[in-house]
Amino acid sequence: MKTWIRVASITLAMVSAWPAAVAAADRYPAKPIRIVVPFTPGGSNDLVARVIAQRFNEAWKQPVVIDNRPGGGSTIGIEIVVRAAADGYTLLVTSGGIAINVSLYRLPFNPVTDLAPVALGVTALSGTPEALGDYLKFEVGRWARLIKEAGIKLE
């Protein structure tokens, strides 16, 4: 009986909160967006961030600020994003170096748990979704062949 009451209470709370959540989602973004780039201005990450910022500005009619924070192997800029409120108003544009930093430095944050990926952009390969799909198909096939040839059994 207590379980049924608990489930009913949780369901009622969720249903009650739904209109507020929908209304809040309709108003996003209600303030300027900040995109942190942990590299100097003029580099590839900065250029990608500026293109994204322009598109966000056109779509949402909200200012988008590029905040270049180079230094520390990009950890300074990444830490700014980690410490920012998790409200969707602070974004990070970075490169694959973030994965290497974990093994090189003693970081005050964990990129796996402290950051949430929003999108994956591949600028070095190609700008089209079709080319990215072809690349991924090729890589998956290549790895599958290597695993089979090595006699590794995946469970």
Q: Return all residues near 99 (Cβ < 8 A) that are at least 6 apart.
A: 111
Instruction: Report the side by side order of strands in the sheet with 64-68.
Output: 64-68, 33-37, 90-92
Residues 98 and 148 in one domain: no
Q: Which domain holds residue 47?
A: 28-121
In a domain, 46, yes or no: yes
Residue 106 has a CB neighbour count (10 Å cut-off) of 6
- Report CA-CA distances (Å) from 30 to 14, 118, 150: 24, 19, 54
Distance CA 129, CA 135 (A): 10
In a domain, 21, yes or no: no
For residues 115 and 152, membership in a common domain is answered with no
pLDDT single digits (tens) 101-119: 888 888 888 888 898 887 7
Share of the chain above pLDDT 90, in %: 26
Q: Enter the pTM of the model.
A: 0.64
**Tens digit of each residue's pLDDT (9 = 90 or more) over 17-66:** 444 444 455 678 899 999 999 999 998 889 888 988 988 888 889 999 99
- Check whether residue 153 and residue 97 sit in a common domain: no
Pair (38, 58) in one structural domain: yes
Q: Is residue 12 part of a domain?
A: no
State the pLDDT confidence band at 126, using cuts at 50, 70 and 90.
very low
Residue 16 lies in a domain: no
What is residue 90's predicted lDDT score, i.e. its pLDDT? Answer: 94
Residue 82's contacts (CB-CB under 8 Å, 6 or more residues apart) are 109, 114, 115
- The verdict on residue 22 lying in a domain is no
